[in-house]
Homo-oligomer: A and B are copies of this chain.
Amino acid sequence: MLSLPGVSSLRLDEIVVRLGGELIGDPATLISQVATLDGASAGEISFLANPKYRNRIATTRAAAVILSPTAAAGCPVPCIATPDPYTYFARLAQWLNPPESPSAGIHATAAVESDIPATVSIGAATHVGAEVRLGEEVGIGPGCVIGNGVEIGAGSRLMGNVTIYHSCRIGARAIIHSGAVIGADGFGFAREKDGSWIKIPQIGRVIIGDDVEIGANTTIDRGALDDTVIEDGVKLDNQIQVGHNVHIGAHSALAGCVGIAGSARIGRRCTVGGAAVILGHLTIADDVNISAGTLVAKSIPQAGTYTGTVPFLEHADWLKNFARLRHLDAMADKIRALEARLAELEKK
């Protein structure tokens, strides 16, 4: 693998000084990378977050392990005990793997029509329109298209082939992956009597807060009249579709292939499982978890976990059972009729 920029090695005691936790074992143990319990080799630190993998500790070749105080007892290698091993691991992984920062400057093949800070990096064949405002140390990869009047906050990073339509605003420290399209027209049409469609110009924008990550090939449409809003800390996986005038509350996380129809309002700290769909004009409360594959067809006013998926079966079993769905109402009628007849009989 190509060597990426990073720190060379950390001592365990150095790690504990910065990130906390209780160090058990040789403080001079050197750590150069993170790894899984099974995949770790010399110089790598692993973590144990899920107790069901506990027995893997016995065989790991990791130089050290991050784990909870209760799991530290039998650990055969040096370890760091901490109440939340996974967040600890995340912080250490970030320390060991700082994001690659592209060198500042405008590539010779880029076309930039705005004044931008000297600390900004613009990749090959990228087009930056007029009246664009970029914060310090923004990194824009190759092949991007940044429309007129776009604003992007300091430290944000756009990977290759990202498209941002005119007038959209992105906060600081965003990460936007390749193929993402921010600010395309929402799907808004009025229908003529003959069935043809008149386009409603989409004059709103997309407004994105700070610390947002947007996955590859995800699309977020601009608002029709008002704006589409993504609040701070939202994480969107790949291939997500966010319709016009959607509002996603802070720190909500949406997994891959999710679809959010126009004007839906999702609360804060929600999670939406992969391929779930939320229909238009609904309101989802804060702290709602929607299971993967669920179609949300009405508003959810209360926090909780919601699911609406069907089990799968071997095909022949499925044929037998699922065809019944067409006749559920008749089944319910039959049960009612049976109850009445039985009651009649019991009276006698």
Contact = CB atoms under 8 A, between A and B. Distances in A.
Interface in A5-36: 33-36
Contacts of A335: 331, 334-335, 338
Contact of A205 (B1, B125, B312): B1
Interface in A300-342: 304-315, 317-329, 331-332, 334-335, 338-339, 341-342
Interface in A155-186: 159-161, 163, 165-167, 175, 177-179, 181, 184-185
Nearest to A213: B199
Interface of A: 1-2, 4, 33-36, 39, 84, 86-87, 89-91, 93-94, 96-97, 99-100, 107-109, 111, 123-127, 131, 141-145, 147-149, 159-161, 163, 165-167, 175, 177-179, 181, 184-185, 187, 189-192, 194-201, 203, 205, 211, 213, 215-217, 219, 221, 225-226, 233, 235, 237-239, 241, 243, 250-251, 253, 255-257, 259, 261, 268-269, 274-275, 277, 279, 287, 290-297, 304-315, 317-329, 331-332, 334-335, 338-339, 341-342, 345-346
A107 B97 contact: no
B165 A178 contact: yes
A314 B279 CA distance: 18
